[in-house]
Amino acid sequence: MGQDLSNREQANLLFKKANQLLGFSLTEIMFHGSKEELTKTGVTQPAIFLHSTVLALTTPNLKPEMVAGHSLGEFSALVANGTLEFEDGLFLVAQRASAMQKACELQPGTMAAVLGLEESVVEDICHSIDDIVVPANYNCPGQLVISGTLSGVETACQKLTDAGARRAIILPVGGAFHSPLMEPARAELEKAINDVNFKTPNCPIFQNVDASAHIDVAEIKNNLIAQLTAPVRWTYLIQQMIIQGGTDFIETGPGKVLQGLVRKINPEVSVGAVAE
């Protein structure tokens, strides 16, 4: 993961800095570790952040006019547009991972992908269940992720299937992210965010919680804090970016998931990734 970037001088400097700040060799796991090692608590989120951010910062002539990130990716986006220094972004991501793990241990939960059902139907069914289960990710038309307690999500999956969902699949995740079960993590992350210096960005960030563009530092911080317990409004965020002039979308980081989502939201825009 990300090893091809080690031929870039600036990337190597960032890799070394990340290892020093974290106190262990993240890049050793990224470059040579097993899937089990890479998916351990405290590794996955910093690894994705590091890969995404290094690509964004070291790719020649990559100067975004607007940025966005899906969930964790919002931290990489804030480094890419100059709001956060690389070191501060990595610190917050490590704090976020730790806080989320603690919240998962306090209250077990899960998430499920729901395909082929209107958002309003999914919302109504979630609200009708006497347990914690909420829409968590509005990924693209026809794809919504729900989050909550184990029993709440299982009940919702059955009701959603009965209501006509093409599929309602429990995901292999460690907890109920972007749900009220993340409240302990939100409170812990709030303190860390308030201890970090945020600068005025050099271009707007479209944030998950309200799908709107922001350059005001106080608004950005508040939205970043709220993100852990609020849904990721990715569909509406991308639509707003297009309305405000977005025509070419470049994904940085591992995989091509976001490229696929953007194409489903609007097949007329240009979508791609930076070459490693």
Catalytic residues: 71, 178
**DSSP string for residues in 10-46:** HHHHHHHHHHHHHTS-HHHHHHH--HHHHTSTTTHHH
Residues 6+ apart with CB under 8 A from 151: 131
238: tokens are 């991308």
Phi, psi of 45 (to 5 degrees): -65, -45
The alpha carbon dihedral of 7, 11, 17, 23 has a sign of negative
19: tokens are 């290892």
Q: How many CB atoms lie within 10 A of CB 213?
A: 18
Nearest to 133 by CA among 148, 113, 111: 148
